[in-house]
Structure 1
Amino acid sequence: MAYDAVFVSTAWLAERLDAPDIVVVDGSWYLPAQNRDAAAEYAERRIPGAVRFDIDAVKDSASDLPHMLPRPEAFAAAVGALGIGDGMRIVVYDGPGLFSAPRVRWTFKTCGARDVVILEGGFAAWEKENRPIEHGAPRARAARSFTARLDHSAVATADDVARALDAGSAQIIDARPADRFRGEAAEPRPGVRSGHMPGALNVQATALVADGRFKDAPALAAAFADAGTDLDRPVITSCGSGVTAAILATALETIGKPVRALYDGSWSEWGASDRPIATGPAKPR
């Protein structure tokens, strides 16, 4: 899929802010170490008319894992209440430019939204270009009807990952920092072991992004190739909790190599279980 089928520019959005079939979604989410409050930032300033989608609120409430994909009926109710309905073009952004927006886009698409794009450069670019910013209480949107249809094929379970590793049917690519992948740094979540799935590869999500945007296509392809990825073979992406795994998936999509699935539970699930782990550099099977 072409880059321009995944991203829209700030200029493109600025020209269409009042279009009735477009809804802008602030999908900002931050790690504790980033010391940022997504809800407070949205309340203070946002792209005019934007609604806020919180992955920690719209999630599978039956799971004790962080921000797991919500059930279709819960997703439909949540986004319908935000004024997002069938047939709308959804433009997602986040504060830094390219961090949580890919996860929000993946969530929408996996739950049945057909037309979801990411604002290139995010709110940081929008603000830097002195484009209009809305302050004060957000504008309420009229509720709409959203038909959710879960694409099960886009979501990998721990068993799916284990089978893929055993059979060599897909490459598992982990987006976490290299020191956590190698088991040299502690995981931020209590009770989660350090290391990686035996046979997994490591492409740090941060290595793909510069100034809130993806690097160019050759640089993206090189980052995956340097990690030992065969771009012509199926890929399942993973990370700490399913957020930066979506950055990997989106990067591959933009260079025409869509992934098989995203491991939603990611290392938060695998590392807290009794499944096998490895430490040190990646040793592909």
Structure 2
Amino acid sequence: MSLSPSPADDPRTLVSTEWLGHHLKDPDLRILDASWYMPGTPRDARAEYEAAHIPGARFFDIDEISDHRSDLPHMAPPVEKFMARLRAMGVGDGHQVVIYDGSGIFSAARVWWLFRLMGKTDVAVLDGGFPKWQAEGREVEDLPPVIRDRHMTVTRQNHLLRDVTQVSHAAKLGQAVVIDARSPARFTGEASEPRPGLRSGHIPGARNVPFGAVLKPDGTMRDPAALRRVFEGAGVDLSKPAITSCGSGVTAAVLSLALERIGHRDWSLYDGSWAEWGMYEDLPVETGPARP
């Protein structure tokens, strides 16, 4: 098996299993298992981590490392909580962080975005995630990592996050393009939302790029040229700022990662996403396909 990293590897966005295999013993590498599954999915992310994970990986609990003052699911945590939890995992300044999940590229991108939000740029998602790592017969273990405390400093990058008021204003004035990562049936309103009490449909003027559209059949991310075609084919005006959205702010980050990969850096993520927008009766909702 070749351990040569791919020329497409970028330790600030996406790295291959070859890259990680090559750097696995680096002293300043920290690996996080950020697996998370939709409610009702018959998988237990922490139990899977405890049974087998990439050597040295720590478990990042998306639901726990969040803002528990909010009624919305897994909203971005306060800076102090993020710093405390990461220090407790032995992750801090000067570390190169690689994040993976048990689906391929799904929830890992959410944690990549959280690190970016906290001003950390030496962080990448593992392309293809744990499924690809295991399929290649690479080393796994079930041992807890040895933790050594490392100081962490954080400089929150508020331009990477949008709240409901900011999204409403931008959508109404056409100042940014909202890109929705949910399935076409949820976007058009044909399918009910998995969370009770939410209306169906999408933010007026939004474009639909289901997060799976930016992935290849093997679960790895498409190359930048193909990613650009996906966005443009969905009617996304890449000359405008982008706001990514989804059901609860998880798969929106897959689109954010894809935008970063094509060099479109004027993006932000709507953290409340449809879990928030669909809850408020006074916010406008469109159904059917995206308007021309």
TM-score, with structure 1 as normaliser: 0.95
Aligned counterparts of 2:239 and 2:9: Cα–Cα separation in 1: 22
Which residue is equivalent to 2:284?
276
Q: What amino acid does structure 2 have at the position aligned with 1:23? A: R
Determine the C-alpha separation between the residues in 1 that align with 2:45 and 2:146.
Answer: 19
Please name the residue that 1:101 is paired with.
108
8 Å contact from structure 2 (residues 128, 221) kept in 1: no
**Deviates further, 215-224 or 83-92:** 215-224
Aligned residue number for residue 234 of structure 2: 227
- Do 2:9 and 2:19's aligned partners in 1 also have CA atoms closer than 8 Å? no
Residue 88 (str. 1) matches residue 72 (str. 2):
no
**Is 1:16 matched up with 2:23?**
yes
* Structure 2 residue matching 1:236: 3-state secondary structure: strand
1:60 positional shift: 0.5
Deviation per CA, 1:107-146: give whole Å up to 9, x if none.
01111222001112211111111111102x4123122221
Q: Which residue identity lines up with residue 134 of structure 2 in the other structure?
A: E
Task: Tell me the CA shift for residue 52 of structure 1.
Answer: 0.7
Given the alignment of the two structures, is residue 155 of structure 1 paired with residue 154 of structure 2, yes or no? no
Matches within 5 A, 1:152-231: 152-210=158-216, 211-231=218-238
Matches of 1:200 and 1:229, distance apart in 2: 9
- Name the counterpart of 2:9: 4
Tell me the number of residue pairs that the alignment of Structure 1 and Structure 2 aligns.
282
Shift of 1:33: 4.9
SS at match of 1:181: helix
Q: Which runs of 5+ in 1 are unaligned?
A: none
| 2:287 aligned with 1:264 | no
CA distance in 2, matches of 1:71, 1:27: 18
Q: Is 1:139 equivalent to 2:125 in the alignment?
A: no
Q: Out of 67-76 and 253-262, give the one that drifted further.
A: 253-262
Counterpart secondary structure, 2:225: helix
User: Could you say which residue in structure 1 is the equivalent of 2:80?
Assistant: 73
In structure 2, the residue corresponding to 1:214 is in which secondary structure?
Answer: coil
When structure 1 is superposed on structure 2, of 73-82 and 30-39 the one drifting more is 30-39
**1:180 & 1:263 partners in 2: Cα distance?**
17
Q: Which amino acid aligns with 2:104?
A: G
Deviation at 1:174, TM superposition (A): 0.5
Read off the aligned partner of 1:232 and give its amino acid letter. S
Which residue pairs with 1:36 in the alignment? 43
Name the SS for the 1:273 alignment partner. coil
Match of 2:3 in 1: none
SS of the equivalent of 1:218 reads helix
Q: CA RMSD in A?
A: 1.4
Moved more, 61-70 or 121-130: 121-130
Distance change >3 Å, CA 259–CA 99, structure 1 → 2: farther
After TM superposition, give the deviation of residue 50 of structure 1 in Å. Answer: 0.3
Task: Letter of the 1:103 partner, please give it.
Answer: R
Greater displacement, 5-14 / 23-32: 5-14
Shift of 1:183: 0.8
Secondary structure of the structure 1 residue equivalent to 2:125: strand
Alignment of 1:105-120 (within 5 A): 105-120=112-127
Q: In the TM superposition, what is the alpha-carbon distance from 1:15 to its structure 2 partner?
A: 2.5
The runs of at least 4 consecutive aligned structure 1 residues that moved more than 3 Å come to none
SS in 1 for 2:178: strand
Q: Report if aligned partners of 1:98, 1:121 keep a CA contact under 8 Å in 2.
A: yes
Q: Secondary structure at the match of 1:32?
A: coil
Match in the other structure for 2:255? 248
Shift of 1:29: 0.8
Residue 102 of structure 1 deviates from its aligned partner by 0.8
Q: TM-score, normalised by structure 2?
A: 0.93
Letter in 2 for 1:165: A
**Where do 5+ consecutive residues of structure 2 fail to align?**
1-6
Q: Distance in 1 between matches of 2:119 and 2:210?
A: 28
Distance 1:112 1:142 in 2: 22
> Which deviates further from its counterpart, 212-221 or 149-158?
212-221
**Residue 61 (structure 1) shift:** 1.0
